[in-house]
Structure formats: structure tokens, C-alpha cells
Amino acid sequence: QLQLVESGGGSVQAGGSLRLSCAAPGYTFVSSCVGWFRQAPGREREGVASLSDSGVIQYIDRVKGRFAIYENSAKTTLYLQMNDLKPEDTAMYYCATARWGGDCSTKALTSMPNNNWGPGTQVTVSS
């Protein structure tokens, strides 16, 4: 079982920035669909951003222009750079991945039978 681990969460004031990381020992995100998700208390999990094996990126409208998903050159670590954070960004953030070289989206990633998830990292934004 792949053990993804997220890190980089924390508490910041509105307007601040955080960078989340996601990795697993000895694992590379080669030929993979990867994504970031979040879930706030009392709300359903939502997909935030996805990155396909071919480099196609998708974001939900609420984070466009503020968040960036990317990998390091070795494809061993997935990042989510979050700028201009807002209180409504407060949530537990999760990374997920699946071996899949085709079209990738957070919706598709959720449905892939071979997906793997991390335990999450908490992001809290105060006003």
C-alpha cells in the first residue's frame, strides 16, 4: 500500500501563503494523475487542482490565480503553492495519485480504482 504523506499545513492570516508537499518513500509520480483535494468541517470533499502525466493542469475557479500545482523535476514530490489565502480556504488538504497516463481531473482521480490518498494536512486561515 502506497503511503503518501502531506506536509506544510499550518495557520496563517488572510493574504498569507503556504506550500503543501506530498511524497511517499521511494515513490515517483511517473505516468500518474495527481491531485489536491480539501474538506472543510461539515462540507463535502472537493477537488482543488489536478496535474496529468502530460502536464495538463486544472483548478477549481475559487483558487485560480492563487494556487499552483506542480512537481519537482524528479517527480518525487507534489506541491501545492497557495498564495493570497482566504478564510474560506480553511480545510484539511489531501493529495491523491493513481497510475494513469490519460486524461486527469480531480473527479476522474476520485473514481480511479487504484488511487492512493494521504492522511491530510490542516490549513487554517484567519481573518
pLDDT score of 19: 98
Residue 15 grid coordinates: 493574504
Q: Phi/psi of residue 21, each to 5°?
A: -125, 155
**pLDDT value of position 36:** 98
State pLDDT tens for residues 64-109.
999 999 999 999 999 999 999 999 999 999 999 999 989 999 999 9
pLDDT at 26 (0 to 100):
94
The pLDDT of residue 1 is above 90? no
Q: Quick one: cell of 17?
A: 501563503
pLDDT for 49 equals: 98
- Compute the mean pLDDT over every residue in the chain, rounded to the nearest whole number: 96
- pLDDT in the model for residue 101: 86
Write out pLDDT tens, residues 50-61. 999 999 999 999
The answer to whether the Cα torsion of 74, 7, 79, 49 is positive or negative is: positive
